Amino acid sequence: MELEFYKLGKLDEDNLSFSVISTTYQGKWLYVRNKTRSTWEFPGGRKEVGERINNTARRELFEETGASKYHIKP
């Protein structure tokens, strides 16, 4: 697997299809259980048509964890 990092604003968002949120809660990494694969994963999911990637991250974090008060830093 190859992993690349880009500076925010340097990549056209139309080329992004999903968001993955690595986060901590009370000093520990936060994972969610994926029922279809029986695995623990970082919260995340697919970007909806016309959605900004930061909004994808916010929506997925809420849908998968119920988090309502947080600060997202790209």
Three-class secondary structure assignment of 21-73: CCCEECCEECCEEECCCCEEECCEEECCCCCCHHHHHHHHHHHHHCCCCCCCC
Residue 2 lies in a domain: no
33: pLDDT confidence band, cut at 50, 70 and 90? very high
Domain that holds residue 23: 14-65
**pLDDT computed for residue 17 by the predictor:** 92
**Nearest 5°: CA angle at 26, between 20 and 37?**
40
Q: Is residue 6 part of a domain?
A: no
Question: What is the count of structural domains for the chain?
Answer: 1
Within a domain: residue 55? yes
pTM: 0.82
Residue 4: pLDDT band (50, 70, 90) is confident
27 lies in a domain?
yes
Mode of pairing for the β-strands spanning 28-29 and 39-41: unpaired
Q: Could you give the CA distance from residue 40 to residue 55 in angstroms, rounded to a whole number?
A: 23
